[in-house]
Amino acid sequence: MTLKDIDKKMHELAKFAVPSKNYNRAKAEEFYRMQKLYWVEKNKPVKTIAVKTESSKHFVNSYGEATTRDIGCQTYRNQQKRLNKKILNFLK
C-alpha cells in the first residue's frame, strides 16, 4: 500500500477510533494498525540517486564566454548573499 492509500483508509476509520457514539472497537484497532503501518512506510529509507556534480562552476562573462574564473570581489559575493536572502524571505 502507498502512503496515500493508507492515509485515505485512516481518514475513513478515524471517526470510529475516537470514543463517541460512533466508537467501534474493531475499526479502532484497524485504525491504529494502519497508523503504525503509515509511520513505518513514512520512515522507510528512500533510495538515493547519486548526482554527478561538477567540481567547478562555469560562469558566463560579459563577452558571452563560459569561464571557470571566479567573478567579482568580496562585495559582489556579499551583495549576492543579501539578494538571495531577500528573495527567500519574499518567497516565505
Per-residue model confidence as pLDDT tens for the chain (92 residues): 777 888 888 888 888 787 888 788 888 888 888 888 888 888 887 676 666 655 567 777 778 788 777 767 888 889 989 999 999 888 87
pLDDT of residue 66: 81
- Where exactly are the structural domains of the chain? 3-42, 59-91
Whole-number pLDDT of residue 52: 60
Beta bridge partners of 67: 59
64: alpha, beta or left, given left = phi > 0 and alpha = psi -120 to 50? Answer: left
User: Following CA atoms 22, 27, 28, 31 in sequence, which dihedral angle do they give, to the nearest 10 degrees?
Assistant: -130
What pLDDT sits at residue 86? Answer: 92
Go through the chain and tell me how many residues it has. Answer: 92
List Cβ neighbours of 59 (8 Å cut-off, separation of 6 or more).
Answer: 66, 67, 68, 69, 70, 71
